[in-house]
């Protein structure tokens, strides 16, 4: 916050702090001269506006002592988009986003934003550029699947546009822009068709569980965690035995596995604070985990000194954490082997949420089990199965036809 001091000649000293260097506070000062004839309220308003602008200039690195503040202000917005992305935006997102998300954001910048808008000044970018970008993505951009059709899906177009908006938002935070020009009510996105929730019915889920009875202990335990507890594949791979309490029958979800191309697989915190959670499990899950732990103990003995005792639940023959893609591959193999309807591994998680809701579990509890950041995400499981819809229609007909009685409290 700027400091103000009125001088004898009617001008004002404006001073701001910009952190510490070698234990000493770094301060910058400038002089503000009110407009002649301005009233006291007008002076106070313009003084604080001036002070805020001066503070943004200093903290963004755009202020050079001795240069007129108004000149510096105009130079802020004259920074090229490509320079801001390289010098300010990349370092910022590398601090606060996951490696995979950073890789995606950089890909959008390098492939689309910098080639198209990189030589534009920040101050010249308006919502028209964002709309132009969205329209190109939706109707003209080449598809990665090699299809001759042009344009990305509505969801992908919106994800890519989010990167553009975040850049300008960051430029405002740095003080390079006064207002976010991309926040405009006239921006239109291609319409997204409501997606169908990919999940097993209760009968298909029971058939899947029946098939797991004939599978190896590790496969059975791994896929039961996805179906019965609704764990994500990265959460399953990251699990360690220390996270499991066999007495209380709980599993503690506190980390996630991730893989960046060209780098070793590693662990990170869950994607949100609600991702940290403790889940209760049933006797069947307890037995599956116990069976696999016993078999793993034999593997460990056979491996001898070659065993990597890092404590992971799902490992290869030498104790190393399995690939984050392994659960998906195993799920597809089991489905094909037993003639089950193909469903992505994440569909087992959706099945878990859907079955819980269909049994009457409240949305907050399901949210806590699945680790959703918002209960709005959990609402996707409120869509009933087709059978439930038919039963509701039949019950309504029976009620109105007098075949069933209404229970009054």
Residue at 58 is within a domain: yes
3-class state of residue 334 by DSSP = helix
Give the range of the structural domain holding residue 21, as residue numbers without chain letter: 3-66
Indicate if 314 and 250 belong to the same structural domain.
yes
Residues 6+ away with beta carbon under 8 Å from 143: 149, 150, 151, 152
| pLDDT above 80 (res 266) | yes
Residues 165 and 210 in one domain: no
Q: Is 173 helix (H, G, I), strand (E, B) or coil?
A: helix
Q: Are residues 230 and 342 in the same domain?
A: yes
Query: Do 88 and 41 belong together in one domain?
Result: no
Residues 28 and 167 in one domain: no
Mean pLDDT, all residues of the chain: 85
In a domain, 186, yes or no: no
Residues 291, 361, single domain; the answer is yes
Give the pLDDT confidence score for residue 74 in this predicted structure.
41
Residue 1 pLDDT grade (very low, low, confident, very high; cuts 50, 70, 90): confident
Q: Are 213 and 286 within one domain?
A: yes
Mean pLDDT of 252-262: 90
Residue 172: per-residue pLDDT: 85
Backbone φ/ψ region at 281: left (φ over 0), alpha (ψ -120 to 50), beta: beta
Tell me: do 272 and 382 sit in the same domain: yes
Q: Tens digits of per-residue pLDDT, 139-198? A: 888 776 666 677 888 989 999 999 999 999 998 888 788 788 898 888 999 887 766 778
Number of independent structural domains in the chain: 3
* 222 and 356 belong to one structural domain: yes
Predicted local confidence at residue 375, as pLDDT: 65
* Same domain, residue pair 52 and 23: yes
- Quickly state the pLDDT bin for 239 (edges 50, 70, 90): very high
285 and 248 in a single domain? The answer is yes
More confident residue, 272 or 294: 294
pLDDT tens by residue, 324-373: 999 999 999 999 999 999 999 999 999 998 888 888 888 888 888 888 87
The more confident residue out of 386 and 230 is 230
Whether residue 182 is contained in a domain is answered as no
Q: Are residues 85 and 221 in the same domain?
A: no
CATH number of the domain where residue 276 is located: 1.10.443.10
Q: How far apart are CA 145 and CA 342, in angstroms?
A: 21
In a domain, 180, yes or no: no
Confidence of residue 404 (pLDDT cuts 50, 70, 90): low
Q: pLDDT digit string (tens) for 361-388?
A: 888 888 888 888 776 666 666 555 555 6
Is residue 75 one of the residues assigned to a domain? no
Answer yes or no: is 72 within a domain. no
């Amino acid at each position: 916050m700027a400091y103000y001091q009125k001088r004898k000649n009617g001008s004002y000293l404006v001073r701001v702090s910009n952190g510490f260097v070698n234990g000493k506070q770094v301060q910058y000062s400038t002089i503000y001269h009110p407009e002649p004839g301005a009233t006291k309220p007008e002076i106070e308003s313009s003084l604080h506006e001036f002070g805020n602008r001066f503070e943004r200039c200093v903290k963004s690195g755009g202020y050079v002592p001795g240069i007129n503040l108004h000149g510096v202000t105009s130079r802020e917005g004259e920074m090229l988009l490509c320079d801001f992305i390289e010098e300010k935006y990349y370092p910022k997102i590398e601090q606060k986003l996951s490696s995979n998300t950073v890789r995606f954001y950089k890909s959008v910048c390098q492939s689309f934003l910098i080639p198209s808008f990189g030589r534009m000044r920040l101050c010249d970018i308006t919502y028209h550029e964002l709309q132009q970008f969205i329209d190109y993505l939706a109707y003209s951009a080449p598809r990665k699947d090699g299809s001759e059709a042009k344009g990305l899906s509505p969801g992908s177009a919106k994800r890519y546009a989010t990167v553009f908006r975040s850049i300008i938002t960051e430029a405002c935070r740095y003080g390079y822009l006064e207002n976010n020009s991309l926040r405009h009510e006239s921006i239109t996105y291609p319409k997204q068709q409501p997606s169908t929730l990919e999940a097993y019915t209760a009968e298909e889920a029971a058939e899947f569980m029946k098939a797991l009875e004939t599978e190896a202990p590790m496969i059975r335990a791994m896929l039961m965690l996805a179906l019965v507890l609704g764990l994500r594949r990265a959460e399953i791979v990251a699990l360690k035995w220390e996270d499991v309490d066999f007495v209380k029958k709980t599993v503690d979800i506190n980390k996630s596995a991730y893989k960046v191309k060209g780098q070793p697989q590693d662990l990170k915190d869950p994607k949100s604070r609600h991702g940290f959670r403790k889940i209760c499990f049933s006797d069947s899950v307890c037995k599956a985990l116990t069976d696999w732990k016993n078999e793993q103990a034999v593997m460990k003995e056979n491996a001898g000194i070659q065993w990597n005792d890092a404590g992971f639940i799902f490992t290869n023959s030498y104790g190393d954490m399995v690939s984050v893609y392994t659960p998906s591959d195993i799920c597809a193999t089991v489905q094909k082997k037993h003639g089950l309807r193909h469903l992505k591994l994440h569909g087992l998680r959706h099945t878990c949420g859907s079955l819980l809701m269909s049994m009457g579990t409240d949305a907050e509890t399901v949210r806590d089990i699945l680790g959703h950041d918002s209960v709005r995400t959990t609402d996707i499981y409120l869509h009933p199965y087709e059978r439930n819809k038919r039963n509701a229609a039949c019950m309504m007909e029976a009620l109105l036809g007098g075949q069933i009685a209404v229970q009054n409290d």
